[in-house]
Structure 1
Amino acid sequence: MEVSSLPISASQRGKLISAGYTSISSLFSVSPSHLAQDLKISENEALEILRVASRRSGVDKIDQGRSRLIVNGAQRSLDMLNEEESSICITTSCSNLDDILGGGISCKEVTEIGGVPGIGKTQLGGKCRIQLAVNVQIPSDCGGVEGKAIYIDTEGSFMVERALQIAEACAEDIKEYNSLQTKDSHACQVNKEPKDFLDNIFLFRVCSYTEQIAVVNYLEKFISEHKDIKVVIVDSITFHFRQDFEDMALRTRLLGGLAFKLMKLAKKFSLAVVLLNQVATKYSEGSFQLTLALGDSWSHASTNRIILYWNGDERYAYIDKSPYMRSASAPYAVTRKGIRNSASSKYKRVKLM
């Protein structure tokens, strides 16, 4: 629920949004004094805002100026297990990579992908090489998800020509699958043309962090109106938040709000959220090392984290973080058709150094 729905003055709503409090949930753990400082208002006025937010969201009461969330109901762990066992994945078109990912990019989860320039993260995650945005449309008869894609382009590097090239390769793969299964009653009965893939990719071009926040806030309504969305790709989550910010506290709050909303979307609509990230340099143990951008606090914003790196002349993907998958790395290749198996058929269960 957004703060724009609160029955408070327009000035107060504007101050909340400007300070990074875009959702009512972002107010649950803040004190009146802290909120008053951020909004440059009195503590009494801040306390009243918190009380209004608590009533609107169903929080039963605020004690001593701090919000206390009373949660009603619970989910059975058996239901959670059944949900996990029935979850679906989007293939990466690289069987080695799919193997270590437990079948591919999982729906209902947020997956972050990052790596150095030229490593192929744009191939795997989106940008001008939208492998997952195409693969999510593979028909269910062919073992696919048969969904649609939302692509949020923050860097202006979407290339429809490359998207068409990937779509052509996927259409060829489906036809090849059909030819191999002609004698099987389970053969895929759907033939997709390359332009059919492009018709099911919804592109949002954003030019600032405020536009990025606005688009993410709009996604729930858009997905509700456009059925079968099964992947949301943000390429990149990082760009505007590295370019336009000096206030790190504000940036942390805004990013935290975005992460919460994207996780909520993944769960509510059973879709995959894929975040492309850039790399940064981090000083650790007497040397500089490459790490994903946005700092340590952001590393908790995703369910899974995949780092792409070079091993000699070969590209590798490494599972850096996952609640249920073991740390592992697998080779992959970037070809004219997109992501494919590497010439090396073996993958390693080793820690990336």
Structure 2
Amino acid sequence: MEVSSLPISASQRAKLLSAGYTSLSSLSSVSPSRLAQDLKISENEAAEILKIASRRSGLEKIETGSHPIMNGAQTAWEMLHEEESSICITTSCSDLDEILGGGIRCKEVTEIGGVPGIGKTQLGIQLAVNVQIPADYGGVGGKAIYIDTEGSFMVERALQIAEACYEDMVEYNSLLRKDSVAAYQVDKQPKDFLENIFYFRVCTYTEQIAVINYLEKFVSEHKDIKVVVIDSITFHFRQDFEDMALRTRLLSGMALKLMKLAKKFNLAVVLLNQVTTKYNEGSFQLTLALGDSWAHASTNRIILYWNGNERYAYIDKSPSLRSASAPYAVTGRGIRNSASNSKRVKLM
């Protein structure tokens, strides 16, 4: 049960959510003094909140019975069949799709990180467009949510990529006609791609938590959502945080909600991440932000990097994919296969 259902004041609810206490279970093991410190309220007020939460938690147990309600067990064979039949969202780069087993998988959380200018946002926008490719063209036929924490989403760039996607579908149709195969009707126009990208701009970490808490309700009302892109997951958590325990608790809560969302609605969650430096064996090395503990928040982790003038993607972590690298390019048409003369060029 969410803390938003507690019969307390709006300011108290806001303080709880800001401090990372989003569910009754998160309040079950905290002391009044610790809660008072986290919420910057008196110990008496904190004790009263915990008392109300305890009563509400007890009522919930009575209503649902003393034993937790568990879903039936799933066999390993069923899990394998489910994994083999899972749908993927193409990246528009066949080399990258190949090492990913077809693209970005639904029902999983995929973290993509790299240095500035490597193409993280470009890839995020590409996925928001590609998720809409109809099933007739080998796509998912879904819609996208784009959560922008940095202000880096460019609608003009999204239109460019949508126009290229539309042109690719028209070209595919003409090839079918040449081969005397019945062609499909191209119903989507470039503007239709933009209409199916739901954009959220968040300016603080509290707004970010609020939007992620709202996602389950939003997705349940928009059944066709098949990808959620967060660009970037880290931005608001790399500043103004003296209490690292609070930051860890907030991030863990977000990660759990996103994993649950991906599984429940059979959609892909894509977390774009920044890089930082880490001192290791006498030298500083680039690593993804938020530390080693955050690495467990995603199913797959992909690191984007430069190799000379060429961009590469490397599968750093995945339970089902082997570690491998693939070159890719950021072009005027979006993410594509790399060409030997791929250079660091400004697109717009």
1:178 equivalent to 2:182? Answer no
- Offset at 1:213? 0.9
The reply to whether residue 339 of structure 1 matches residue 343 of structure 2 is: no
Pair 184,243 (structure 1): closer, same or farther in 2 beyond 3 Å: farther
Contact persistence 1:163–1:198 (CA under 8 A): yes
Residue matched to 2:117: 118
* Counterpart check, 1:256 vs 2:260: no
Taking every aligned residue pair, what percent have the same amino acid on both sides? 76
Q: CA-to-partner distance for each residue in 1:221-257, whole Å, 9 max, x for gaps?
A: 1112223111111101111111232211111111111
Q: Distance in 1 between matches of 2:25 and 2:94?
A: 40
Letter in 1 for 2:53: I
| Cα deviations by residue, 1:82-136 (Å, 9 ceiling, x for unpaired) | 32222100000001100110100000111110001121112112xxxx1001100
Q: Which amino acid aligns with 1:316?
A: Y
Structure-1 residue corresponding to 2:81? 82
What is the deviation of 1:17? 2.3
In the alignment, residue 148 of structure 2 is paired with which amino acid? D
Find out whether 1:200 has 2:196 as its counterpart: yes
Question: Do the aligned partners of 2:121 and 2:152 also contact (CA within 8 Å) in 1?
Answer: no
| Aligned-pair CA distance for 1:208 | 0.7
Q: Which residue is 2:139 aligned to?
A: 144
Return the match for 1:266 from 262, 274, 285.
Answer: 262
**C-alpha deviation, 1:38, in angstroms:** 2.7
The question of whether the paired residues in 2 share the 8 Å contact of 1:7 and 1:52 is answered with no
Deviation at 1:70, TM superposition (A): 4.0
1:64 aligns to what?
none
Contact 2:121 2:153 in 1 (8 A): no
Quote how far apart the aligned CAs of 1:186 are. Answer: 6.2
Q: 5+ residue gaps in structure 2?
A: 38-42, 341-348
Figure out how many residues of one structure are paired with residues of the other and give that number. Answer: 330
CA separation in 1, counterparts of 2:128 and 2:25?
30
Tell me what 2:298 maps to: 302
Q: Which secondary structure state, in structure 2, belongs to the residue aligned with residue 308 of structure 1?
A: strand
In the aligned structure 1, how far is the partner of 2:282 from the partner of 2:74?
47
More helix per residue? 2
Deviation string, structure 1 residues 49-91 (Cα, Å, up to 9, x no partner): 3453364377867xxxxxxx84523331233233222210000
Which residue number corresponds to residue 164 of structure 1?
A: 159
TM-score (norm 2): 0.87
CA distance in 2, matches of 1:270, 1:184: 36
Which residue in the other structure is 2:97 paired with? 98
How big is the shift at 1:170? 0.5
Report deviation, 1:6. Answer: 3.0
Instruction: Give the aligned partner of residue 52 of structure 1.
Output: 56
Within 2, Cα distance between the matches of 1:316 and 1:51? Answer: 54
Runs of 4+ in 1 over 4 A off after TM superposition: 7-12, 42-45, 57-61, 183-186
d(CA) in 1 for partners of 2:92, 2:85? 21
Who is 1:73 aligned against?
Answer: 71
Once residues 171 and 105 of structure 1 are traced to their aligned partners in structure 2, the CA distance between those partners, rounded to angstroms, is: 20
Q: Secondary structure at the match of 2:296?
A: coil
Distance 2:180 2:267 in 1: 30
| CA deviation after TM superposition for structure 1 residue 138, in Å | 0.6
SS in 2 for 1:150: strand
Gaps of 5+ in 1: 62-68, 345-353
Deviation at 1:10, TM superposition (A): 5.6
CA separation in 2, counterparts of 1:132 and 1:294?
A: 24
Q: Give the RMSD, CA atoms, in angstroms.
A: 2.3
The secondary structure found in structure 2 opposite 1:224 is: helix
- Tell me by how many angstroms 1:264 deviates: 1.1
Give the distance between the partners of 2:180 and 2:83, measured in 1 at CA. 29
Aligned CA distance change for structure 1 residues 334 and 92 (closer, same or farther; 3 Å): same
User: 2:322 maps to what in 1?
Assistant: 326
In structure 2, do the counterparts of structure 1 residues 320 and 50 end up closer, same or farther at CA, with 3 Å as the change threshold? farther
CA 1:9/1:161 → structure 2, altered by over 3 Å: closer, same or farther?
closer
Range that drifts further, 97-106 or 215-224: 215-224
TM-score of the two chains, using structure 1 as the length reference: 0.86
Structure 1 counterpart SS, 2:118: coil
